[in-house]
Amino acid sequence: MLYRLTRWQRPMVIVESGGYLGMSSAFILKALADEDLTQAKLYSLEGIAITEG
């Protein structure tokens, strides 16, 4: 689903959260490559800890 959605929308910037094992990143990056979107950027955020005080 991420592959098709990425190819359909052709985004130039993607931010994902919790990409566990990198599978979603792999599908997104493959779709960007297949669409020849060489200038597109993927930002992946993983496990942000919030602490108090």
Q: Is residue 24 part of a domain?
A: yes
Q: Is residue 51 part of a domain?
A: no
Q: Is residue 33 part of a domain?
A: yes
Q: Is residue 28 part of a domain?
A: yes
CA 13 and chain centroid, separation: 8
Place of tokens 């919030």: 50
Domain of residue 36: give its range: 2-45
Q: Is residue 52 part of a domain?
A: no
Q: Is residue 50 part of a domain?
A: no
Q: Tens digit of pLDDT for each residue in 12-44?
A: 999 998 867 889 999 999 999 999 999 999 999
Report the number of distinct structural domains present in the chain: 1
Counting other chains too, the contacts that 38-41 makes at CB distance below 8 Å and 24 or more residues apart are 39/12, 40/11, 40/12, 40/13, 40/14, 41/12, 41/13, 41/14
What is the model's pTM? Answer: 0.81
pLDDT of residue 18: 81
Q: Produce one character per residue of 8-37: b if its CB has 16 or more CB atoms within 10 Å, e if not.
A: eeebeebeeeeeeeeebbebbbebbeeeeb
Q: Is residue 39 part of a domain?
A: yes
